[in-house]
Chain A
Amino acid sequence: MDGLQIGNSRWYKLDNAAHIYPAMRNASDSCVFRIAANLDHVIDPECLQRAVVDLKPRFPSMYVRLKSGLFWNYCEYNEKNPVVRPEPPYVNHNIDSHENNNYLFTFYYYNRRISMEAFHSLCDGYGAMEMLKAILFRYFELKGHKMENNGLVMTASQTPDPREIEDSFIKNYTSSKRERATVKRAYHIRGSRLVLREGIGVITGRVQTSALLSLAKKCGATLTQYLAAALTFCISSTEDAKKSDKPVNICVPVNMRKICDSQTLRNFTLFFYTSAEGRMEFSELVETLKTQFETGLNKANLQRTLNANVAMERNLGLRMVPLFIKNAGIRVVLSNLDNKIKTATISNLGQVALPPSMSGMVRDFSVHLPMGSKSTHGVGVISCGGVTTISFSRSIYETDIEKLFFTFLSGEGLDISIQSNFREG
């Protein structure tokens, strides 16, 4: 791995995607996401603490602290142990690294739920999910359950594979064609801003995966395509959006591991945008988005985007610029460009496969996306054990989009149950 040394002095350079988050992090943009598992029993904090410590040698890229160099940030081995905490009322709150023994992740427990909140420089949803699964597996072992792995979970007894800690952006970079897709400025959902330093608003809906999949299949779409279309449809049906001449752009993260045959636990995600202008019928919208998904998920297009992103990082002139200037540049560029082309984000982590010894004890998972100062809505989707959870994270008080979305799905015949952290008042 680039920069990695073995022993207590190990460290590594941040990957291409990880560079932006330390620059973007501030009081109103934590760059922290949450993955949570609901179990069938109330959490035992002592077992959870032991499980988190036991997994330290298994995930060398996770048990690190973020440090600043003159030109780039980097991660180095953290000698302290992480500490699990009771869940605070603030979802995806800024991680106080000082109180957290300098770790970039925190494990929380609340009733039957174990939540992992991670700073995005550390990993993406896939990496966090693999770690959470491993922690759950170890937790059940410590609780005295007889566990069988079936190769679906990373365990404490395994040796870390170097491929899990590689920088897959660099590995898959080719100096051939590089190009980023141009995206029109998007419509932005308006509302009264929550005090973001006090956390975000969360509404999580649970539906039967089979029922949701059959709805998507009826439209000839995948689950992500169907939900992206439903989200676009609901946003564009608000009075404010109807008045706007800007398109509704949904940002869709793409897990590049399947496309590039990577096993990294660090960031390896690229993004594409779906765009829908004007009012369309739902079926028409699904067809439009299907076409855009095909273009967005095209390997050649993604390779060009990857090349463009990595080429910028590899530019010698840029590399020689001191870190504080780079950070200022990233803040200016992202606040003026990136946030303006995005209405909302939808991220589907897919079906979580658990060994049979675990699946009976895990009710479901949920994903809460990070909320920036500009974007208002993020939707995290994950399926496990026949249940799909659709979690809305929002940075405004109003819940109009959530209401439209869930009543739309309910109108399509789905049986939905929701939970909220009641930040709407």
Chain B
Amino acid sequence: MKKCLRCNISVSTKTDRCPLCHGILSQGDHSEAEQSYPMFKQRKSRKQVFLIAGSIVSAALVATTIALNALTWNGKLWSAVFAAFVLYAWGLGWITLKKELSLGMKLSAHAVAIALLLIDVNAFAFSQETVSHITWSVSYGMPIVFVSFLVVANILVVAKRHMLRDILLYQLAFCAAAFMPLILMISIAMEPIQPSIAAAFFSYLNVMGLIVFANRTIASEFGRKFHI
């Protein structure tokens, strides 16, 4: 044990400095001297640099695209599509890498983002300008996206039973979302309506399946998530 003569205190350390006064310690008995704590190492975080550089590059690209779109204007706002893709890429990276988010949350965020992206592409780049600007994205895109994610969620639950509780509420959310295209198609009176009907039917079958096979889990999960 070393001694700080200035503080009149024994110090158990391998270093020569007193942690209190930073004075030189007198050399004492080395028998008990062991590193009290693991060596501290400064963390080198490159995440911040990548984020700043990425933001600047993305903003520059979006600004250039908007400028090009304005200079070569042909009646279509195609730069909005590019901006949406850049935003989606950022969102994709952030959501996928965020460790705290659950798998269900990540799947839901991706499903919503892809659906919005399709609507954006349809509205600004490939609009047929018939009844609505978003015909194919709502009639085909949204049903396919939500049903696909619902299938992925089902496969996950079948493959890993213990994930049921984690994914259950998101499964129900996908089921609700899969009804949305049908509601939109009816309310705007768009054609073709068949994919939306198929998606809604698949969603209905899913809800029924969950009620039959996982009714207790559903009740328990609702009790937890919505307890006041």
What residues make up the interface of A, taking CB atoms closer than 8 Å to B?
Answer: 3, 5, 9, 11, 13, 67, 69-72, 74, 76, 79, 86-91, 96-99, 110-111, 198-199, 202-205, 319-320, 399, 402-403, 406-407, 410-411, 415-424
B40 at the interface (CB under 8 A from A): yes
B11 at the interface (CB under 8 A from A): yes
| B37→A421 contact, CB < 8 A | yes
Chain B residues with CB under 8 A of A5: 220
A-B pairs, 9 with minimum CB distance: A420-B19, A417-B10, A421-B37, A419-B36, A98-B99, A403-B20, A89-B40, A89-B38, A69-B225
B43 at the interface (CB under 8 A from A): yes
Determine chain B's interface SS by DSSP, over half rule. loop
B46 at the interface (CB under 8 A from A): no
The CA of A423 and the CA of B8, in the complex, are separated in Å by 21
The CA of A417 and the CA of B38, in the complex, are separated in Å by 19
The CA of A86 and the CA of B228, in the complex, are separated in Å by 40
What residues make up the interface of B, taking CB atoms closer than 8 Å to A?
Answer: 1, 7-13, 15, 19-22, 34-43, 99-100, 162, 165, 217, 220, 223-228
| A424→B19 contact, CB < 8 A | yes
Determine chain A's interface SS by DSSP, over half rule. loop
Chain B residues with CB under 8 A of A71: 226-228
| B7→A403 contact, CB < 8 A | yes
| B227→A72 contact, CB < 8 A | yes
| B43→A198 contact, CB < 8 A | yes
Given A9-B220, A110-B38: A74 touches B227 (CB 8 Å cut-off): yes
A198: nearest chain-B partner, CB-CB = B43
The CA of A144 and the CA of B162, in the complex, are separated in Å by 36
| A418→B10 contact, CB < 8 A | yes
Looking at the assembled complex, report how far the CB atom of A10 sits from the nearest CB atom of chain B, in whole angstroms: 10
Looking at the assembled complex, report how far the CB atom of B217 sits from the nearest CB atom of chain A, in whole angstroms: 8
Looking at the assembled complex, report how far the CB atom of B168 sits from the nearest CB atom of chain A, in whole angstroms: 12
| A110→B37 contact, CB < 8 A | yes
Chain A residues with CB under 8 A of B223: 3
Looking at the assembled complex, report how far the CB atom of B193 sits from the nearest CB atom of chain A, in whole angstroms: 34
| A410→B9 contact, CB < 8 A | yes
A199: nearest chain-B partner, CB-CB = B40
Chain B residues with CB under 8 A of A407: 7-9, 20
A404: nearest chain-B partner, CB-CB = B20
A69: nearest chain-B partner, CB-CB = B225
A to B CB contacts below 8 Å, 11 in the list: A70-B226, A72-B228, A90-B40, A205-B9, A399-B19, A406-B20, A407-B20, A410-B8, A410-B9, A419-B13, A420-B11
Chain A residues with CB under 8 A of B19: 203, 399, 402, 418, 420, 422, 424
A401: nearest chain-B partner, CB-CB = B20
| A89→B41 contact, CB < 8 A | yes
B98: nearest chain-A partner, CB-CB = A98
The CA of A423 and the CA of B224, in the complex, are separated in Å by 42
| B37→A91 contact, CB < 8 A | yes
The CA of A147 and the CA of B30, in the complex, are separated in Å by 33
| A417→B11 contact, CB < 8 A | yes
The CA of A423 and the CA of B15, in the complex, are separated in Å by 13
Looking at the assembled complex, report how far the CB atom of B179 sits from the nearest CB atom of chain A, in whole angstroms: 21
Chain B residues with CB under 8 A of A424: 19, 22
| B43→A410 contact, CB < 8 A | no
Chain B residues with CB under 8 A of A111: 34-35
| A416→B37 contact, CB < 8 A | no
Looking at the assembled complex, report how far the CB atom of B163 sits from the nearest CB atom of chain A, in whole angstroms: 11
Chain A residues with CB under 8 A of B41: 89
Chain A residues with CB under 8 A of B9: 205, 406-407, 410, 416-418
Looking at the assembled complex, report how far the CB atom of A408 sits from the nearest CB atom of chain B, in whole angstroms: 11
Chain A residues with CB under 8 A of B228: 71-72, 319-320
The CA of A403 and the CA of B226, in the complex, are separated in Å by 51
Looking at the assembled complex, report how far the CB atom of A397 sits from the nearest CB atom of chain B, in whole angstroms: 11
Chain B residues with CB under 8 A of A320: 228
* Besides the known contacts A9-B165, A110-B37, A407-B8, 6 further A-B residue pairs in the complex with CB atoms under 8 A apart: A74-B224, A89-B39, A90-B40, A99-B99, A199-B40, A418-B19
Chain B residues with CB under 8 A of A88: 38
Given A5-B220, A74-B224, A98-B100: A410 touches B37 (CB 8 Å cut-off): no
Chain A residues with CB under 8 A of B22: 424
| A421→B225 contact, CB < 8 A | no
Given A79-B162, A88-B38, A410-B7: A11 touches B20 (CB 8 Å cut-off): no
B40: nearest chain-A partner, CB-CB = A89
The CA of A3 and the CA of B11, in the complex, are separated in Å by 50
Given A406-B7, A422-B15: A417 touches B1 (CB 8 Å cut-off): yes
The CA of A410 and the CA of B21, in the complex, are separated in Å by 14
Chain A residues with CB under 8 A of B217: 9
Looking at the assembled complex, report how far the CB atom of B141 sits from the nearest CB atom of chain A, in whole angstroms: 30
The CA of A364 and the CA of B61, in the complex, are separated in Å by 61
The CA of A359 and the CA of B41, in the complex, are separated in Å by 35
Looking at the assembled complex, report how far the CB atom of B44 sits from the nearest CB atom of chain A, in whole angstroms: 11
Given A417-B9, A422-B15: A203 touches B20 (CB 8 Å cut-off): yes
Residue from A71, A79, A406, A422 whose CB has the most chain B CB atoms within 10 Å: A422
A5: nearest chain-B partner, CB-CB = B220
Instruction: State which of B8, B20, B220, B227 has its C-beta within 8 Å of the C-beta of A402.
Output: B20
The CA of A88 and the CA of B40, in the complex, are separated in Å by 8
Residue from B20, B41, B220, B227 whose CB has the most chain A CB atoms within 10 Å: B20
